[in-house]
Amino acid sequence: MPTEQLFRIKSQLSTKELTVSDGLLLTLRALRGHLPENRLLWLNRELLGYRPEDLEEFSPPEPKKNVFPRIVMLWSPARKQHEEEKLTSPRYRYLQGTWGKLNESGGITTVAAPQLLEKSIFCNIGLQQLEAQLQEMEDQEGSLFSMSHDLETGAEFYCFARELSRIAEAVRIKLCQFIDEAMQELG
């Protein structure tokens, strides 16, 4: 059983002796074959990044609901926990920022265009790439970086590096919780 290994990974994550990406990889390796693959999907996506298909699943059109399906669900046999687990939209992965262009003095000029009204975008890159980007920045809190580009206007989505740090920390916390749940499941 990988419980000792999981305990060690969680301990090193908690003290930040281990990077989040290394923690994800080690946890994935420790649990493969011990938990169903669908339970490991989140680890994989956080490590390697979210695919376009994943993003489509996060925002399906909301069908109108009526009372009958809920009643049927109340009488349906109970499903095993995690049996049909799917990815849910990880809210912590939305970056807060603004769309703009760099001006001659190095400042950002906001761009007003209908398609650029959103002040947050989903950060789909894996933790390994995210950590590498943070390491390249002199100021891991206050540095500005561009995360996305709009071809039509030439605008880029700018946000502060602290947004990447916030994502890494959220995944660290969620990974520790995931490890706790996995250790309970493994007994």
Q: Supply the DSSP string of 167-181, one letter for each residue.
A: HHHHHHHHHHHHHHH
Contact 96, 159 (CB under 8 A): yes
Task: Supply the pLDDT for residue 58.
Answer: 64
Residues whose CB falls within 8 Å of the CB of residue 146, separated by 6 or more in sequence, listed in order: 156, 157, 158
Sign of CA dihedral 141, 142, 143, 146: positive
User: What is the 3-state composition of the chain as percent helix, strand, coil, each rounded to the nearest 5?
Assistant: 50, 15, 35
Ramachandran region of residue 32, left (φ > 0), alpha (ψ -120 to 50) or beta?
A: beta
By three-state DSSP, how is residue 15 classified?
coil
Tell me the pLDDT of the chain (187 aa) as tens digits.
689 999 999 999 999 999 999 999 999 999 999 999 999 999 999 999 998 887 777 654 443 334 344 443 344 344 444 444 556 778 999 999 999 998 888 888 888 888 888 789 999 999 999 999 999 988 888 888 888 888 999 999 999 999 999 999 999 999 999 999 999 999 8
pTM for the model stands at 0.79
pLDDT of residue 80: 43
